Amino acid sequence: MTAVEEARFVDHIRPKPAISTHWGDIIGIVGDAERSRDLARPPVEIKEPRRS
């Protein structure tokens, strides 16, 4: 899911807040999470992914 797709999905389901965690492990960078946060209407928190 791209940052734009994630933002649209968040807008559709309207969580309070959304938490972006699926970045930085296999694909994506923190910039993707930040872009999604900036595009979505509901608040989006960015959490650092867990390292195994």
Structural domain includes residue 52: no
Average per-residue pLDDT for the chain: 84
In sequence order, the β-bridge partners of residue 45 are: 19
Contact 7, 33 (CB under 8 A): no
Indicate the number of domains in the chain. 1
Q: How confident is the model at residue 25 (pLDDT cuts 50, 70, 90)?
A: low
Structural domain includes residue 32: yes
Structural domain includes residue 37: yes
Evaluate if residue 19 carries a pLDDT over 70. Answer: yes
What is the DSSP-derived secondary structure letter of residue 18?
Answer: E
User: Percent of the chain having pLDDT more than 90?
Assistant: 23
Which residue range forms the structural domain that includes residue 29? Answer: 3-46
Q: Please tell me the least confidently modeled range out of 9-13, 38-42, 46-50.
A: 46-50
Structural domain includes residue 51: no
